[in-house]
Amino acid sequence: MFKKVFGTGLFLFQAGIVWASEKAAATAVAQAQNIAPAHASYLIWTVVVAGISLAIAAGLCGIGQGIAVSRAVEGISRQPEATSQIQQALIIGLAFIESLVLYSLFIGIVLLFVNPFMKYFIQ
């Protein structure tokens, strides 16, 4: 329980810092790249959303993997003769679960570095 409360509090604290300093950061990015502050705000929100989506995907996948492993160990303890079949299904299932985090990471990297929508904001 403490970890959940501490993690949520830490997330909200960091989010507060990001939102409080958004205007200053937007102005600094705008001056550095010669773009309008509203467009710099778009860049900042892209980073924030990519980070939050990766955190949510990783957290939920971690929970799913934990449940899958616990059920696999439970199944192996009930039927030790089916260990190889359970392990094979577990590894395939874990690979599919982990692919969500990798897709989220890939989309975040594309938005951060390539950002196909920037042509609409920087003229």
Q: What's the pLDDT at 112?
A: 78
Answer yes or no: are the C-beta atoms of 40 and 26 closer than 8 Å: yes
pLDDT at 50: 84
What is this structure's pTM? 0.60
CA distance 29 to 39: 9
Give the dihedral sign, CA 64/65/68/70: negative
The CA distance from 45 to 31, in Å, is 17
With respect to residue 123, please indicate whether it lies within any of the assigned structural domains: no
Report if residue 57 sits inside a domain.
yes
Domain membership flag for residue 54: yes
Q: Is residue 119 part of a domain?
A: no
Write down the pLDDT at residue 123. Answer: 56
Domain membership of residue 26 as a residue range: 2-114
Q: What is the CATH number of the domain that holds 94?
A: 1.20.20.10
What pLDDT score does 51 carry?
Answer: 85
Residues of the chain with pLDDT under 50: 5-6, 9
